[in-house]
Amino acid sequence: MPKRSNEPVFWALFGAGGVVAAFVLPALIVVTGLAAPLGLPSPGVLSYERVSAFAASLPGAAFLFVVISLSLWHGFHRIYHSLHELGVHRGLSVVRVLCYGTALAGTALTAYLLVTAI
């Protein structure tokens, strides 16, 4: 009998991250990467007070956790598979540990930072 793959775990995280990234990231990038640094429409868009209040609220923390961790799982899952497709065979298992390890570490760090902020 063929061996059952553990890929469903990673694929589920990849899929959830893909949905979140698709619906949320474009607007979020406009806010944090373009509008805030350019001071549009006003300088205080991402003021320390505003952002820390947001991160300390339960919905805000949940939002940040979901967006950051799932985007990491999504991104690194695809990066891993693309490297395989580009013909990286030697050290592929190391690449795998690095990719999913980064996603896992990022998830843990995000959770820690948010829990201490609340």
Partner 1 sequence: MAVRRPYVRPMAGWWRRNPFYIFYMLREATSVFVALYALQLLYGLYTLAVGEAAFDAWLVSLRHPLFLVFHGVALAAALLHAFTWFNVAPKAMPVLYLGSHRVADRTLVWAQYLIFAVISVAILGVVLGG
Partner 2 sequence: MATHDEIEIEVLRYHPETDSEPSYRTYRVPFAHETSVLQGLQYIKDRLDGSLTFRWSCRMAICGSCGMMINGVPNLTCSAFLREYHPGKLRIEPLAHLPIERDLAVDQTDFLEKLASIQPYIIPAESKAVDEGPFTQTPAQRERFYQYSECINCLLCYAACPQYGLDSGFLGPAALALLHRYNSDSRDVGKADRMPIVNAQEGVWACTLVGYCSEVCPKGVDPASAVNRNKVISTLDYFFRFMAPRGASE
Query: What x-and-dash track marks residues 73-102 binding partner 1 by CB under 8 A?
Result: -xxxxxx-xx--xxx---------------
Among 12, 46, 62, 94, binds partner 1 (CB under 8 A): 46
- The only residue of 16, 60, 64, 104 in contact with partner 1, by rule CB under 8 A: 64
Q: How many CA atoms lie within 13 A of 68 on its CB side?
A: 19
Q: In terms of CB distance, is 45 or 95 closer to partner 1? A: 45
Distances (CA, A) of 53 to 45, 66, 69, 107: 13, 18, 20, 21
Which residue number, 16 or 98, has a Cβ lying nearer to partner 2? Answer: 16
Considering only the C-alpha atoms of the chain, give the largest distance between any 2 of them, rounded to a whole number of Å: 63
Shortest approach of partner 1 to residue 62 CB, angstroms? 13
**Residue (6 or 85) nearer to partner 1, CB:** 85
Task: Quote the crossing angle between the two packed helices 48-56 and 58-85, to the nearest 10°.
Answer: 90
9 binds, among partner 1, partner 2, none (CB under 5 to 8 A by kind): partner 2
Residue pointed to by tokens 């390890």: 101
> Where along the sequence are the contacts to partner 2 (CB under 8 A)?
1-5, 7-9, 11-12, 81, 84-85
Distance, in Å, from the CA atom of 118 to the CA atom of 75, rounded to the nearest integer, reads: 27
